[in-house]
Structure 1
Amino acid sequence: MTDGVLVHLTDPAAWRAALDTGALRPPSLAGEGFVHLSTPEQVHLPAGRLFPGRRDLVLLVVDPARLTGPVRWAPGVPGDPPGVRFPHLHGPLQTSAVVAVVPYRPPAEPVLPRPDDALGRARALWLSVRTRRAAEVRDVPGGVAVLDPRFPHSWDDNRLVLSHPVDAGTVAASVAAVAADAGWPHLAATLAWSGADDVARELTGHGWRAEELVVMARPATPPLPGRRAEAVDQREVHDLWERSWRRDLPTSEADLDEVVAQLIGREHRNDRVVAVTDLAVREEGRVVSAGQLRVDGATAAFESMNTDPAARGRGHGDAVLGAALDLALERGCDLVVLEADATDWPRHWYARRGFAVVGTTWEVSAQAGATTESSR
């Protein structure tokens, strides 16, 4: 468990609503005058009382130093261990005080990052979003499998998401078992623990494709100079996405139209679990550059940066990123994170704009016994 943080257990829908208002106000605040918090070691007690048997909840990881209301400790209820005392927040729980949102799936031990752990917070956001938006979640060694049969071509929505160390054989066997049962046309897993390099490289020796992603982070301040992109309805970006997917997917893709339709159609689900804003630059009324900011408490992720090749070199990327950083600061975020291919040029572009590498994750995949040609 993580020292120095408090936690609050809630329904994901209540948390998503709080992201729009800036604060979580559970019924206890109006009825009793406070929000129930716990230490990480205590949370199983209220979980058992209030949510028996539920495994679809989230733990809000709270930095006490960011709370604006007083925290007072009070005894528990009859049946709690003797002498146990719980922290009560006398005021709403601001979303800016929540440094991570972690799925609560007992008896699995949740990974709770410290407020100063940029890598831990980044991994928590990406793993949590995948879990919270999934149509189905299954336990596997080292983490979970996320499934969504509506989007079988989306490897991001049908894969293993592993946050605890397991060996390469376990990864391969677990993915194969889930894929066979679910009818996946591919094998895919995210390896998000320190030291996963050896497992990823061992899998490449068995025909898997392994992609190393650097995790990069920076504060929302200072702002980038220059003009800013505009916030747009996500549907206005679909044409840019479609052009990109059609350009980048293998030309041998027989069902390209269906693949592209699924990859675009899946995107709206992110806003059901985190606050999503699409930012874009137009030329002659057409969106030629866009990126996306996903806010989950005090942590924001910058995603899906894309500029038409013919429109590059005109500062559009800076305009989109600058707008995203502005918005993150406005939403109360102190940390903005992203992932970049460890072998490609964008990581250096982001480094020149204040992002520092804080760690890595690995994406491993295979299809029909052969290495894959693209990552989805």
Structure 2
Amino acid sequence: MEFSLEQVLAWRMERQFLAAVAAESAVAVVGRLCGVQAQVASAAEHAVAVRLAAPATGAVEAALERRELIKVWAMRGTLHLLTVTDAASCLSLMADARTWEKGAWQRTFATTGQIDAIADAVREILPGRALTREQLAAEILQTTRDDSLGELLGSGWGTVLKPLAWQGLVCHGPTDGNRVTFTSPATWADGWTGLPAPDPAAARIIPAYLGAFGPATMEAFDQWLIRGASRRASLRRWFADLSRSGDITEVSVDGQAAFARTADLDDIAAAVPVPGTRLLPAFDQFVLGPGTRDERLIAPHRRALISRTGGWISPVVVDRGRIAGTWEPTGDGLTVSLFAEAEPVPHDSLAGEANRIAKITGGSATLRVATV
């Protein structure tokens, strides 16, 4: 089946709650997007808010307080908001790659023996409790009696805790003032039954990913999941099994092979590009799902403006499904920088989005537009 890129982008806008139909809850947004990156909490709140029928911040915090979502290190080793069921499946696929057992990872961070010792301690310490980083580190050291782990556990990025998260042992707990706490997923979420086996996990997550960011290649999925580190044999088997079962179908997008959910084929074929401009926040899934190396989404000479140093992903202007520029908040409004090669973006559309952003952030809707 052959699709145009215009059909695909129009369909993605609808699926990601960026067109006519808005979401009713933070859980609906997070579930549809197969997770929302939450390394920057305000960006996650904003990514959800711009997709809600009644845009406002606080929806993510409320969903976490009700424990309808879970916050955990997941895709690409970054902190994500996920539904509980999706979290278990995503973590299963992360764990299946066993990236912490690779020689380079061990030489840079910790040995498998050290990770195993920390994991055994966490299994004993954490269930039924929520501990700050300092409290958790102190109890791990007391349990393992290995002082060499102290520097590892003091890492501000929690590098050595990530393999524990991927094994379903650690997630973020309720905040303690301004301090992060950690708990067990089984403590956080009622009904947590641990991680499924990788094959059924893939049977859930691959279609979920394609349901927001498809049609997409196997490689694009792997980059989104774990920066291309999945076991190749496993990855090929997962896609082959889903193809045989009829859950996914190989298609062509402007001559390039990709996979789509079979259930979405008719909707993609019927998708019609419609005028519409959206201002999306930093680290938005519209960009992160396909990845910043997708040249059909981001021209190579513009990538450095969007994927910046330190892992920062810029807020973007999306016009008719295409990235047409970037934007940033200023002290008295926001500044939009449109790409010179993009089709003209109506000023009224940008002004409307500026008003939407102002309602979400409580800031000014004053708009400045430049061309780069």
TM-score range, shorter chain: under 0.3
- Structure in which a larger fraction of residues adopt helix: 2
Give me the TM-score of the superposition, normalised by structure 1. Answer: 0.26
Give me the TM-score of the superposition, normalised by structure 2. Answer: 0.26
